Amino acid sequence: MATTSAPAPDRSAVRSLLRLWPYVRPARARLFSAAFVAIVASSTGLVIPLVLKWLVDGPVADRDPAGVWLGALFLLLLGFAEALLFGLRRWLVARPLAHVEASMRADLYRHLQRLPVSFHDRWASGQLLSRGIADLGLVRMFLAFPLTFLLVNGVTIVIGVIIMLLQDWTLGLVILGPAVPVMVTCVVFEKRYAEVARRAQDQVGDLTTVVEESVLGIRVIKGFGRHRSQARAFRDLSGKLRGTELRKARLLATIWGVIVTLPEMAIGAALVVGVVQVADGGLSAGTLVAFLSTALALRWPVESIGFLLAMSQEAATATERYFEVMDEEVEEPGAAGSPASLPGGGARDSASPPEDRAPVVAGTSASLPAGPARDSAFLRENPAHDSASLSEDRARDSASRGADAPARAASVVRPPAARAGLRFHGVTFRYPDAPADSPPVLQHIDLHVRPGESMALVGATGSGKTTLTALIPRLYEVTSGRITLDGVGVTELSRDALRAKVAVAFEEPTLFSAAVGDNVLMGADGTAGTAELERALAVAQADFVHALPQGTDTQVGEQGLSLSGGQRQRLALARAVVGRPEFLVLDDPLSALDVHTEAAVEAALRDVLADTTALIVAHRPSTVLLADRVALLSGGRIAAVGTHQELLRTNAEYAHLMSGEEEGAR
């Protein structure tokens, strides 16, 4: 899992923050206006010392009460104008920056949905949560305050120093004395604070992960009495975060001490020098008052440098963390438009073997009557079929047709160019983060699930069954080889088109914090209604939902933990079949069901499987019997393919697996 990492040696806060520009660009007019207004406000504040100089050297020295009241009125108006301008600045940035944060968060969420499963295997969910919430909060704070005031305060300091030098250049040089040590301190602080800020943000992500896992796994924690060990783990991480935050505070206190102490000492020295000059008659009292007032007005811009730099560094590391996720490569979209642009729902795979794309030649099998002549022509055109498989196909078709089989015989066998089933062509797979010298999980898988056929996938634990099924909807990408659906490579379909064709029911059912009906209809394309929902619930024997307080509108809660494991599994199965998919992938879909419910679900599933091409991961003989044929996966390879009875007679490993299941059932 991705946890903590240090910033790169060549890290640049400015370069990191510049990546925010595409998000800031729509709000640039208001941000620039806010910066201009803030500069005007700060400059207004610097006019106040000049009014004080006039007031002291003029009305006060001349004992003119009217002039004093006039000067007081000027000061009041300047103070009111400064406050109004700063209020306008805040109004200008509030709404656009909230929009910037919302846009970045929406883009992050959308990007996470498009990232491959291998990415989510590596990254802790807490790290992603902290990037989408805490880090974006830091970015918004930077855009609202430090971004503007680093510019505003810099301009204010420059203008203030010019004013002081114009009033008395000797006092100005005294004030400028600490400038060099302050700048050196800021450079050192920036480098050290960046590293600590990054570590703190990563530790927040780790802590978020612990909290999330503890909440989701509360039943396990309570069931095994592990609340104390979890509390210790949380306390340890909290202690590390506390130590990092204290180090941040120490660094900030150090720079603050330097930035505050040296300018204060310079102001004190300027005061002494100025008083001496006034006493000698070389400087007017009004000029000294104005000079010191200007110096005091610059205290806030100078002292704020420390925490403005700190906030900027935190925003820079937050931006880095955000773009670490956004820079990850998303899933390739596949062949855009291929499924919709061709007749029959998909583009033909020009590189597929003849058995996948054998054309229907006019005047041959398509025009022959049902019988031996058509069978011979069909076998000539389809070398992948043999007489036995053709007999199996016809037997299955006859069973599904029922009594009116003779009248419908001609319409049952679809042209092979339109339907070629599910096929694996020499598929090899190794997980992306696996060492290069490690053996593949799957090696040279060659498997053909015929159109309308159900095939059970059987193998020992860890043999790669779930991994194989995850390759069909491209949750993972094959390392080598190809997978085709009706002759079309899965990589040539857009992901939307692919996943519209293929429905999956995972071994571990996942439900969302939504209504029961919404969870089930997630498996449809948005056009399914109440009738399809009820049909899917009936297939999955999930009629229990009607006894819930609000029926199918009942909220199931986070992860569906308010339901039993068997209930969640049945809803997941209903979600897989509600859209009437062309291809169905079931990963041990009945493992959490009792014997009687399993039998009822299997009976209902037979009707569904008759209309689709299905690959079913099975561990129990009862599930295997749902399938027309069985494929044995052993050592990452397909070791045998046949019917259940054939493999029991001819394959010792398969017989051992099935006998173990039967003994376990007893």
Residue 631: predicted pLDDT: 93
Return the pLDDT at 10.
52
Task: With a cut of 80, say whether residue 279 has pLDDT above it.
Answer: yes
Centre a 10 Å sphere on the Cβ of residue 455 and count the other Cβ atoms it contains.
22
Tell how strand 488-489 and strand 480-485 pair up: antiparallel
pLDDT of residue 629: 92
The answer to whether the CB of 20 falls within 8 A of the CB of 250 is no
- Please choose, from the candidates 489, 488, 447, the residue with its C-alpha nearest in 3D space to the C-alpha of residue 464: 447
| Region 196-201 average pLDDT | 88
**Which of the four pLDDT bands, split at 50, 70 and 90, describes residue 592?**
low
CA distance 412 to 111: 44
Ordered by where they begin, the domains of the chain are: 16-326 (1.20.1560.10), 360-398 (no CATH), 422-665 (3.40.50.300)
Check residue 347 and give its pLDDT: 35
What confidence category does residue 353 fall into, taking pLDDT thresholds of 50, 70 and 90? very low
- The predicted structure's pLDDT at residue 547: 85
Question: DSSP assignment of 553-617, as one string?
Answer: G-B--GGGTTS-HHHHHHHHHHHHHTT--SEEEEESTTTTS-HHHHHHHHHHHHHHHTTSEEEEE
> Side-chain half-sphere of 415: how many Cα atoms within 13 Å?
12
Q: Are 198 and 7 in contact (CB under 8 A)?
A: yes
Q: How confident is the model at residue 158 (pLDDT cuts 50, 70, 90)?
A: confident
Query: DSSP character for 382?
Result: -
pTM: 0.68
Cβ atoms of 401 and 410 within 8 Å: the answer is no
User: DSSP character for 484?
Assistant: E
Query: Torsion angle, CA of 441/443/446/449, rounded to 10 degrees?
Result: 0
Q: Are 472 and 615 in contact (CB under 8 A)?
A: yes
Chain segment 288-325, per-residue pLDDT in tens? 888 888 888 888 888 888 878 888 888 898 999 999 99
Say which residues have a Cβ less than 8 Å from residue 280's Cβ, sequence separation at least 6: none
Q: Which two three-digit tokens encode residue 608?
A: 């569904």
More confident residue, 356 or 524: 524
Q: In the predicted model, is pLDDT for residue 573 greater than 80?
A: yes
> Tens digits of per-residue pLDDT, 320-339?
999 999 998 887 665 443 33
Ranges 92-96, 427-431, 578-582, 661-665: which has the least confidence: 661-665
Task: Name the residue among 312, 12, 16, 303 with its Cα closest to residue 141.
Answer: 312
Largest CA distance in the chain: 127
pLDDT (average), residues 33-38 = 83
The predicted structure's pLDDT at residue 334: 56
Confidence of residue 54 (pLDDT cuts 50, 70, 90): confident
Task: State what percent of residues in the chain have pLDDT above 70.
Answer: 82
Cα dihedral sign, 402-408-409-412: negative
Mean per-residue pLDDT, 24-51: 81
> How far apart are alpha carbons 113 and 542 in whole angstroms?
29
pLDDT above 90 (res 555): no
Average pLDDT, the chain: 77
pLDDT at residue 117 tops 50:
yes
Contacts of 475 (CB under 8 A, 6+ apart): 116, 117
Residue 6 has pLDDT above 50, yes or no: no
CA distance 351 to 344: 18
> pLDDT value at position 323?
93
- Output the pLDDT for position 246: 92
Give the residue-averaged pLDDT of 205-210: 87
Split at pLDDT 50, 70, 90, the class of 394 is very low
Nearest Cα to 665, choosing from 622, 627, 632, 625?
A: 622
End-to-end Cα spacing for the chain: 41
Element (H, E) at 263: helix 227-280
Whole-number Å distance between alpha carbons of 611 and 419: 13
450 vs 524, more confident:
450
The alpha helices in 364-484, defined as continuous H runs, are 372-381, 387-401, 405-412, 465-471
Mean pLDDT of 489-505: 86
Share of the chain above pLDDT 90, in %: 10
Q: Over 90: is that where the pLDDT of 611 sits?
A: no
Q: Which residue has the higher pLDDT, 564 or 477?
A: 477
Residue of higher predicted confidence among 136 and 53: 136
Rounded distance between C-alpha atoms, residue 170 and residue 276, angstroms: 12
Strand order in the sheet with 637-642: 502-505, 583-587, 613-617, 454-459, 629-634, 637-642
- Rounded Cα–Cα distance for residues 363 and 566 (Å): 53
pLDDT band with cut points at 50, 70 and 90 for residue 604: confident
H/E stretch holding 633 reads strand 629-634
pLDDT, position 379? 40
State the DSSP code for 457.
E
| pLDDT tens profile 437-492 | 888 999 999 999 999 888 999 988 888 888 899 899 888 889 999 999 988 888 88
